[in-house]
């Protein structure tokens, strides 16, 4: 199998998941992921770490998208086309998902990105490279984001540690 | 008395401290209950976040987990950008795969199954010819366009198309403590969908071995060594059980299946990511 296809099959789902977790918009996730692979294929310079490169491109596309929406006066954190809940999803689960989404929306974009990249298996040096910060501040971002999530959950009367 | 801030505690939990700092903080935590509680609280928030993410993932389209053909629009783009050139080590692994190797890890110096040898002979010749043609074509197109990752072995693609399979959600089976001096703890992930991608990140900065073994495909585990890096392995096609062997000296590790956290190791405790009620089970290997 050609290298491009191996890369695609390797990172397609983790990228889709990452973008979906960031935006809660499956259509946007598909578009952004496809665009990232397209850009990689067109990249003329050496790409030493395609995984980090792809995640960085996705992160930047989403940031650009949010900035554009904000300029147009539209809410950048709400998905334009949120996925409808599957018919078998119980009301309780839908409520949990709604609470999770609200909690994530209260984080700054950078905190959200750092947390979700860590969740995707990235090390601090890689997270720093993807979101464009110094490696030293990554643990601070993560710890602060987790504490803020706890506060958001407290506001909903829930406990993150027993989510 | 000095007490570490959240930042240091978080880096300790994620295995990101240098060994001297790690030792010093571990010593402090063993003596300071306040900081131990703070660390446990942060760890709990981390686990809770994984749960939250698991809930979000339930809302993703089910078809994402199915085998996806390489999109025509990207195939067109590959024809216009030329052939990638990869480091020699990765090229050799690609050749091994095309030669009909049945194991899907990256054994270094491991024996191949005997029954694949005769089939392997002509495949090696064909793959070598393909490689020579590729190198010649790359020289014509001009310049290295792409370098594969140096520290991350690329997961081999399955010879057959990925089957349509829904990645089951994870079922908690309780925390499994690593026994000191046991050498290794095997964590069995049963029910992993064929074609799923297993990723392991190790955070203790030490070189260790991760092996992925199938219950039926081959009796010998596929082992490979890595430093502090990401290991990616494609799961074999006919598989019902994957055992991930993580040495007992590991302080932190994360095992992800298709980008979703399956197992987290923190401070030597193996904990499954608890999300849904059915699917991948986690249990100590027999």
Residue B58, pLDDT above cutoff 70: yes
- Residues, chain B, total? 286
B6 with A144: Cβ contact below 8 A: yes
The residues pairing with A163 across neighbouring beta strands, listed in sequence order, are: none
What does the CA dihedral B9, B10, B12, B16 come to, rounded to 10 degrees?
A: -140
Q: What is the mean pLDDT of chain B?
A: 53
Q: What is the mean pLDDT of chain A?
A: 81
Distance from CA of B230 to the nearest CA of A (A): 8
Instruction: Give the separation between CA B134 and CA A63, rounded to whole angstroms.
Output: 38
pTM of this structure: 0.60
Which residues of chain B from 80 to 99 reach within 8 Å of chain A, CB to CB?
81, 83-84, 86, 94
Q: Which residues does chain A have within 8 Å of residue B199's beta carbon, measured at their own beta carbons?
A: 14, 121
Q: Cα A40 vs. chain centroid, distance in angstroms?
A: 19
Residue of B47, B48, B144 with shortest CB distance to A46: B144
Instruction: Give the separation between CA A18 and CA A41, rounded to whole angstroms.
Output: 20
pLDDT bucket at A15, cuts 50 / 70 / 90: very high
Per-residue DSSP letters for chain B?
Answer: -----HHHHHHHHTT-S-HHHHHHHHHHHHH-HHHHHHHHHHHHHHHHHHHHHHHHHHTS-GGGGS--PPPHHHHHHHHHH------HHHHHHHHHHHTT----S--SSPPPPGGGHHHHHHHHHHHHHHHHHHHHHHHHH-S------SSSPPPPPPSSPPPP-PPPPB-----EEPPTT-SEEEEEEETPPTT-EEEEEE-SSS-EEEEEEESSS-SSPEEEEESSSEEEEEPPSS-SEEEEEEETT---EEEEETTEEEEEEETTEEEEPP--SSSBEEEE--
Question: Residue B105: what pLDDT?
Answer: 34
Interchain CB contacts (distance < 8 Å): A and B = 191
Residue B57, pLDDT above cutoff 70: yes
Distance from CA of A67 to the nearest CA of B (A): 24
> Does B237 contact chain A (CB < 8 Å)?
no
Q: What is the mean pLDDT of residues B73-90?
A: 47
Q: Are B19 and B49 in contact (CB under 8 A)?
A: no
Residue of A6, A104, A124 with shortest CB distance to B157: A6
> Does B161 contact chain A (CB < 8 Å)?
no
Q: Backbone phi, then psi, for B222, in 5-degree steps?
A: -90, 115
Instruction: Give the separation between CA B120 and CA B138, rounded to whole angstroms.
Output: 26
> What one-character DSSP code corresponds to residue A41?
H
Could you read off the pLDDT of B101-147 as tens digits, one per residue? 223 333 333 333 333 333 444 444 444 444 444 444 444 443 333 33
Pairing of strands B253-257, B241-247: unpaired
Q: Which residues does chain B have within 8 Å of residue A159's beta carbon, measured at their own beta carbons?
A: 48
A42 with B53: Cβ contact below 8 A: no
Could you read off the pLDDT of A80-128 as tens digits, one per residue? 445 555 555 566 667 777 777 888 888 899 999 999 999 888 889 999 9
> Does B213 contact chain A (CB < 8 Å)?
no
């Amino acid at each position: 199998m050609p290298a491009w296809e191996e890369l695609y099959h390797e990172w397609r789902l983790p990228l889709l998941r990452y973008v979906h977790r960031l935006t809660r918009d499956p259509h946007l996730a598909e578009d952004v992921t496809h665009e990232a692979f397209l850009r990689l294929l067109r990249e003329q310079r050496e790409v030493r770490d395609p995984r980090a490169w792809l995640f960085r491109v996705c992160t930047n596309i989403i940031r650009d998208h949010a900035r554009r929406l904000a300029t147009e006066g539209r809410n950048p954190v709400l998905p334009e086309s949120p996925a409808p809940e599957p018919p078998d999803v119980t009301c309780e689960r839908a409520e949990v998902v709604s609470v999770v989404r609200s909690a994530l929306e209260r984080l700054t974009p950078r905190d959200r990105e750092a947390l979700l990249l860590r969740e995707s298996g990235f090390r601090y040096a890689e997270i720093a490279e993807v979101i464009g910060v110094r490696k030293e501040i990554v643990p601070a971002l993560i710890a602060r984001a987790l504490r803020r999530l706890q506060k958001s959950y407290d506001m909903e009367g829930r406990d993150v540690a027993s989510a | 008395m000095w007490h570490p801030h959240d930042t240091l505690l978080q880096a300790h939990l994620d295995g990101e401290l240098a060994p001297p700092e790690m030792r010093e903080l571990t010593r402090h935590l063993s003596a300071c209950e306040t900081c131990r509680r703070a660390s446990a609280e942060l760890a709990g928030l981390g686990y809770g976040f994984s749960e939250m993410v698991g809930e979000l993932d339930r809302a993703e389209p089910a078809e994402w987990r199915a085998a996806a053909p390489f999109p025509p629009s990207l195939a067109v783009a590959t024809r216009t950008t030329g052939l990638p050139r990869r480091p020699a080590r990765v090229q050799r692994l690609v050749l091994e795969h095309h030669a009909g190797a049945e194991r899907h890890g990256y054994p270094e110096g491991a024996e191949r199954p005997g029954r694949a040898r005769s089939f392997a002979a002509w495949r090696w010749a064909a793959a070598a010819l393909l490689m020579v043609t590729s190198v010649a074509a790359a020289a014509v197109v001009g310049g290295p366009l792409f370098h594969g990752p140096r520290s991350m072995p690329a997961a081999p693609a399955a010879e057959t198309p990925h089957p349509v399979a829904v990645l089951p959600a994870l079922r908690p089976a309780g925390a499994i403590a690593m026994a000191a001096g046991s050498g290794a703890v095997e964590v069995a992930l049963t029910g992993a969908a064929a074609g799923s991608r297993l990723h392991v990140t190790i955070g203790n900065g030490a070189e260790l071995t991760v092996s992925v073994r199938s219950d039926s495909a081959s009796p010998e585990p596929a082992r490979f060594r890595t430093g502090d890096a990401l290991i990616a392995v494609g799961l074999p096609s006919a598989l019902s059980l994957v055992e991930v062997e993580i040495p007992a000296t590991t302080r932190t590790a994360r095992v992800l299946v298709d980008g979703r956290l399956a197992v987290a190791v923190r401070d030597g405790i193996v904990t499954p990511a608890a999300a849904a009620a059915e699917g991948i089970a986690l249990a100590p290997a027999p």
